[in-house]
Amino acid sequence: MFARAALRTVSARSFSTSAVRQTRVAVLGAGGGIGQPLSLLLKSDPLVSSLSLYDIRGAPGVAADVSHVDTASEVKGYAADQLDQALEGAKVVVIPAGVPRKPGMTRDDLFNTNASIVRDLAAAIGRVSPEAHILIISNPVNSTVPIVAATLEKQGKFDPRRVFGVTTLDVVRAARFVGEVTGKNPLDTPITVVGGHSGPTIVPLLSQSPTGKTISGEAYGKVVHRIQYGGDEVVKAKDGAGSATLSMAYAGAKFTNSLLRGLNGEKGVITPTFVKSPLYESQGIDFFSSNVELGTEGVAKIHPIGEISAEEQKLLEACLPELKKNIEKGKAFVAQS
């Protein structure tokens, strides 16, 4: 029931299954805290025809379990030594592989462990399924996305239309928190969030929302802080047992569904995501999250951030140098590999 109810929202705008080209989706890290509920939600998405679940431990068990859900898609689990088989024929690869934070850690503290995990998975994708659209959840997203891009670039396989950092959880939180403050249904208060995915690099644009722009003064500062540091709330509450998994699975399934709708030719699918972007390239920042229109080849159009308030301009000024550092760190890692 949980999966169906969630997916009613996730795919609320999807069209009839008979009209769509269905798709094989691979999840790398499917045995983890995010991977398991994400796999369940993807099993319920009518746009997914086949699910390949891979992890260095536990994926066949997760696959056996999820495969009993009464939707049409096929599910197969792959063990640690079966990465290539898991990737064969994948149109979309979602990556939640890697370690999560514990209290007191920043996302950047995960770099040393997760950078090589993501690099090695990207190299396998470049080799086995170079046409796949790659959705990166593993933190620190501001660095792991450049790592994937640079790894594919080394292989001559990088297509900037096909590599996405999943920042949807920031968008989901922004709608929820603004809804809470204003007493509105979050589904009626979508908020664009730009920049990157960590603390000051998360820049919510409340001024562009009729509901968001009604929040001012102390309440504005509080809600912006909550959107930027929502991840910390969960890390603290889980008290050493990890970070957001369920809300992230929801956000990951939501973004995957948006991408699949775009790939299937639906017009007007627009959502923020962290991609190779020209918006701040002149300042040496070549990855950035802004509203992106998703089309049959992935990224169809990168929207500029549009008009923003003086407060948001300040947030953006704080975002850019930090983001630049994170991106450069990811690129340097691949250059030295």
The number of C-alpha atoms within 13 Å of 30 and in the hemisphere containing its C-beta is 33
- Asked whether position 107 contacts ligand LMR by CB under 6 A, the answer is yes
Pseudo-torsion of CA 94, 95, 96, 98, nearest 10°? 170
Distance CA 112, CA 148 (A): 15
Residue 77 near residue 169, CB atoms below 8 Å: no
Place of tokens 């746009």: 47
Smallest gap from residue 197 Cβ to ligand NAD (A) = 6
Q: Which of 235, 259, 305, 323: binder of ligand LMR (CB under 6 A)?
A: 235
Angle, alpha carbons 96-98-99 (nearest 5°): 120
Residue showing the smallest CB distance to ligand LMR in the complex: 231
- Compute the distance between CA of residue 297 and CA of residue 90 in angstroms, rounded to an integer: 14
Torsion angle of C-alpha atoms 302, 303, 308, 312, degrees rounded to 10: -20
Q: Which does 97 bind (CB under 5 to 8 A by kind): ligand NAD, ligand LMR, none?
A: ligand NAD
Find which of ligand LMR, ligand NAD, none residue 99 binds, CB within 5 to 8 Å per kind: ligand NAD
Which residues make up the interface to ligand NAD (CB under 6 A)?
28-29, 31-35, 55-57, 96-101, 110, 114, 117, 121, 137-139, 141, 166, 169, 197, 242-245, 248
199 torsion bin: left (phi>0), alpha (psi -120 to 50), beta (else) = left
Q: Which does 235 bind (CB under 5 to 8 A by kind): ligand LMR, ligand NAD, none?
A: ligand LMR
Tell me whether residue 133 is one of the annotated catalytic residues: no
Which one of 43, 76, 101, 162 is in contact with ligand LMR (CB under 6 A)?
A: 101
User: Considering CB distances under 5 to 8 angstroms, the limit depending on partner class, which of ligand NAD, ligand LMR, none binds residue 234?
Assistant: ligand LMR
Contacting residues toward ligand LMR, per CB under 6 A: 100-101, 107, 139, 169, 231, 234-235, 243-244
Q: Which residues are catalytic?
A: 197
